[in-house]
Chain A
Amino acid sequence: MTVSELAAVQGFEAVTLPDGERKIGGVYIGDLLSWVMGRAKADDAWITIMSNINVAAVAALADVACVILAEGVELDGTVKETAESKGINVLTAHMPAYETAMALASRL
């Protein structure tokens, strides 16, 4: 499914969607940024509760399809602008990481 399609699913909400047509290939869950860079694959949806500026850089470099902020975590304005300008899709999920992954698993 594409990131835009996921954003339309109940419980998910688009924060930035500069590349909504990007296809989601898998899922990775993690908050330690180097673990994510070491383990996440290109085109994964990355589920995290981290929302600082470095998340945008890691998402860009690891080439994930989107970042999903679990537990309804919000991005502050500067991070949102950075994500947008780097072409990073960011969604918020109003549920914990496990439920977020379950919701994705049934659709991939």
Chain B
Amino acid sequence: MVNYMAEPLVFHFEVDGDNFTSAGQASVQVKKNLRELGIDPETIRRVSIAMYEGEINMVIHAHGGVAEVIVSDESVEIILKDTGPGIPNIEQAMQEGFSTAPDNVRSLGFGAGMGLPNMKRYTDYMHIDSVVGVGTTITMKVNY
């Protein structure tokens, strides 16, 4: 990190669940913010891809949600929270290729069952907390 931070910076975003075409705005904004903070490009790439996948999932499955990004001296933490249907079988959902996305989403090039695996691939820590009928919270961390 180039800049020393006395306390973590927190960015908060609302993810619009009804607008598939604007999905990714929060991730692109985070990318900009991290670049301005002087964080290295590969870390920015990992954070923004993981967050974008999460954003897309919230739009596809949960009618949106909220995202919080916490930038500290050691890591960037991403917390994605929705009140969607929840994930009945997390182990299954984590498998590459497993997808419950509808056809209209697939025709846009999404829904290949790579979202959650990509989030894991690009982060150093990932935890899914999901209750069926209540919602899902995903916490991810990328260390510098």
**Which residues in B have their C-beta under 8 angstroms from that of A14?**
none
User: In the complex the two chains form, is B27's CB within 8 Å of A57's CB?
Assistant: yes
User: In the complex the two chains form, is B42's CB within 8 Å of A34's CB?
Assistant: no
Which of A34, A52, A86 gathers most chain B CB within 10 Å? A34
**Interface flag for A55 (CB, 8 Å):** yes
User: In the complex the two chains form, is B114's CB within 8 Å of A57's CB?
Assistant: no
- Expressed in whole angstroms, the Cα–Cα distance for A62 and B23 within the complex equals 15
**Which residues in A have their C-beta under 8 angstroms from that of B84?**
none
- Chain A, interface size category, equals 20 to 34
Interface bits A29-53 vs B (CB < 8 Å: 1, else 0): 0011111011000100000001011
User: In the complex the two chains form, is B28's CB within 8 Å of A31's CB?
Assistant: no
**Which residues in B have their C-beta under 8 angstroms from that of A63?**
41, 45
User: In the complex the two chains form, is B114's CB within 8 Å of A32's CB?
Assistant: yes
Q: What is B's interface to A at a CB cutoff of 8 Å?
A: 21, 23-24, 27-28, 31, 41-42, 45, 48-49, 52-53, 108-110, 112-115, 117-118, 121
Q: What is A's interface to B at a CB cutoff of 8 Å?
A: 31-35, 37-38, 42, 50, 52-55, 57-58, 60-63, 86
